[in-house]
Structure 1
Amino acid sequence: MSKSFVTAFLFVLCTWVVSAQEKDSIPDTNDQEIDSLQNDLKKQGIIIVDTLKKKKVSINPLGPSKAAFYSAVFPGLGQIYNKRYWKAPIVWGVLGSAIAGYLFNDSQYKRARTAFKRRQAGFIDDEFYDNFNGQGTIPNLDIGDLQTIQEARQRDRDLWLVGAIAVYILNIVDANVDAHLKQFNVDEDLSFDMQPFLDVDPVTNRPNYGMAVVVRF
């Protein structure tokens, strides 16, 4: 075991030394020589273009958090912060409709429940008891109908409440995700072209000529 370990260690050490020597034996590229070659090519009508330049996108690490916070405080405000102004009326309309549906069904539920309780107590003076002719002889809705209406309105009210909460949460998520996506480069002004390029061999310092596909942002 010890001989095998020593042999493996010496092999790795020798390999590392040889690699280091090979790396050190490669001469550094002379910037002046590269500039001279580029000037010579420029005189011949060949221009070297740096294809590694990219469009800079400003990054605000606190932007998504701010957008989510603003939407949590007041729905739609995060969309305005992201300059997605057209989204704010959508958020207000959908959330307002959900709240209106909740309030309407809650009001109808309370009306039916009040009448239902008075019928159970023996009263016949509720708004659903013979409110057509006012004689108080024939109920428009009996106690069973009031119970059915009460349960239906309660169910609808709860569904509208769940919908309003879902819209509120989606409003926050949308503002946060949109703020993240705004920091990516999604510029549609993309084009490409064929241009000559110069590549200098780091060992021989000889220029290599060719053609490159340049993508512009």
Structure 2
Amino acid sequence: MVFKKVIFVLLIAFYASNTFAQKDSVNVKGVKIKGDIKIEKGGVYDALAPSKAAFYSAVFPGMGQIYNKKYWKAPVVWGALAIPTYYYLTNNSDYKRYRTAYKLRKNGLVDEFTVDGVEIISLETLETAQKGLKENRDLSLLTGVILYVLQIVEASVNAHLLQFNTDDNLSLRPSLIMNPIKIESPSVGLTINYTF
């Protein structure tokens, strides 16, 4: 019996969601087609805009954001990619320094961390520093690659979302309503108003 009630409630919810769902509308060459009604206002839907934005971002980071006319995002992308690049280059040069010193010391030669015959850094410290710097270098590279891919995805998604109707009539306005009858033990309700 409970199972039948659950199925009945799900069917009613499915029917209600289809009844109140937004109808599809497509802009074709300046003419907006909504169902069987043609409306002359509206922009042109460009199906290639997301792929162009992704291509431009892949060729030169930040260019997809500029293509989407979100000019403020380009310096953010450049800064986000410059930070892991800087750390990669710094960690890589330090890794090479410690690696060279480790190889020289293993062969019994003088390295940059030996001053007047005194070893400033021990052999174990050189080995530990190499491992840490290599891990940091690899992590910086991974972070840079992830940020590079994310900026491509962001440009593509933004180009796709720019083509949606964002009129104020398509909004969701949640509001809290206090129950004035229950003063001693207040209860709070939630209403969601939507218009389309």
- Distance, in Å, in 2 between the alignment partners of 1:54 and 1:117 is 75
For residue 71 of structure 2, the aligned residue among 82, 85, 100 is 85
Higher relative contact order (CA closer than 8 Å, sequence separation 6+): 1
Question: TM-score, structure 2 length as denominator?
Answer: 0.65
Question: Secondary structure at the residue paired with 2:114?
Answer: coil
For residue 81 of structure 2, the aligned residue among 75, 90, 95 is 95
Superposed CA deviations along residues 75-126 of structure 1, whole A, max 9, x for unmatched, are 00000000011110000001011111100000000000000000000112x1
Superposed CA deviations along residues 27-78 of structure 1, whole A, max 9, x for unmatched, are xxxxxxxxxxxxxxxxxxxxxxxx9959523211110010000000000000
- Distance, in Å, in 2 between the alignment partners of 1:142 and 1:55 is 75
User: Contact 1:67–1:79 (CA<8 Å) still a contact in 2?
Assistant: yes
Gaps (5+ residues) in structure 1?
1-50, 192-214
State the partner residue of 2:106: 120
For residue 139 of structure 1, the aligned residue among 109, 119, 123 is 119
- 1:62 maps to amino acid: L
- Distance, in Å, in 1 between the alignment partners of 2:141 and 2:127 is 21
- Distance, in Å, in 2 between the alignment partners of 1:153 and 1:81 is 38
Aligned positions of 1:61-210 closer than 5 A: 61-124=47-110, 126-130=111-115, 135-136=116-117, 138-188=118-168
Distance 1:62 1:127, change over 3 A: same
- Distance, in Å, in 2 between the alignment partners of 1:179 and 1:129 is 57
- Distance, in Å, in 2 between the alignment partners of 1:129 and 1:54 is 80
Percentage identity across paired residues of the two chains = 50
Superposed CA deviations along residues 134-172 of structure 1, whole A, max 9, x for unmatched, are x22x21001111001010000000000000000000010
The RMSD of aligned alpha carbons is 2.2
Question: Secondary structure at the residue paired with 1:184?
Answer: coil
Bigger CA radius of gyration: 1
User: Contact 1:80–1:88 (CA<8 Å) still a contact in 2?
Assistant: yes
- 1:114 maps to amino acid: T
4+ residue runs over 4 A deviation: 51-55
- 1:171 maps to amino acid: Q
User: Contact 1:57–1:184 (CA<8 Å) still a contact in 2?
Assistant: no
Question: Secondary structure at the residue paired with 1:123?
Answer: coil
- Distance, in Å, in 2 between the alignment partners of 1:182 and 1:54 is 20
- Distance, in Å, in 1 between the alignment partners of 2:143 and 2:159 is 24
Count of aligned pairs: 137
- Distance, in Å, in 1 between the alignment partners of 2:39 and 2:153 is 33
Gaps (5+ residues) in structure 2?
1-36, 172-194
- Distance, in Å, in 1 between the alignment partners of 2:161 and 2:152 is 14
